[in-house]
Amino acid sequence: MLGLMLEAVYYDTEKGLVVAIKPKPPFLPLLDICSGLTQKEGIFTTPALAGIGDPDGIRTHDLHRDRVAC
C-alpha cells in the first residue's frame, strides 16, 4: 500500500530511522491535513517519523509493556 502512496522515503542509515517521506501527487492533499507534519517542496518531515518504535523494535511508544518480551 505504501508503495502506491509514496514516491520516496528518506532514511538515515547511520541512525536507522525514517526522517522524511515524499507522497505521490494524488496523496498530497491527504498529508496536508495531517497535523504535525512539515512540508517543504512536497517532502514531509516530522519528529514522529524519526524513532518510531522502541529500541528493541517490539512495540510502538504509545504501547506499554507489562512484562519482558520473548
Q: Which pLDDT does position 5 carry in this prediction? A: 92
Whose CA is closest to 28, among 17, 42, 38? 42
13-66 pLDDT, tens digit each: 887 788 888 999 999 888 888 777 888 888 888 665 555 544 555 555 555 555
Contact 29, 42 (CB under 8 A): no
| Cα separation, 19 vs 17, whole angstroms | 6
